[in-house]
């Protein structure tokens, strides 16, 4: 494995690879699909990107188990989901 000191990595590389999700993220009072899709403004295949983002965030399985899947309304501030589920949706977004 090649080791590179962090000081030698360009800032743009870090910005492209790192994101922050709060411990208790706020979701919009819409569907799971809309919450994730909010992060995909000009996507051509938006539905495919949303599904892939859910898979990448390890949220796909629990979303599919919900009665309305990606169309499930998350409630005010995501209150109808558990804290971990809200985090996974926020990561996918």
**Phi, psi (degrees; rounded to nearest 5) at 70:** -65, -15
Which position has the higher pLDDT, 88 or 26?
Answer: 88
State the average pLDDT for the chain: 90
Angle in degrees, CA 81, 33, 50, rounded to 5: 120
Supply the pTM of this predicted model: 0.79
Mean pLDDT computed over 67-86: 94
């Amino acid at each position: 494995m090649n080791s590179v000191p962090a000081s030698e990595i360009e800032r743009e590389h870090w910005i492209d690879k790192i994101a922050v999700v709060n411990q208790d993220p706020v979701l919009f009072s819409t569907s799971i699909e809309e919450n994730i899709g909010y992060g995909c403004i000009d996507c051509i295949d938006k539905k495919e990107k949303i599904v892939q983002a859910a898979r990448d965030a390890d949220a796909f399985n629990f979303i599919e188990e919900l009665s309305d899947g990606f169309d499930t309304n998350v409630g005010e501030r995501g209150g109808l989901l558990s804290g971990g589920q809200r985090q996974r949706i926020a990561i996918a977004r």
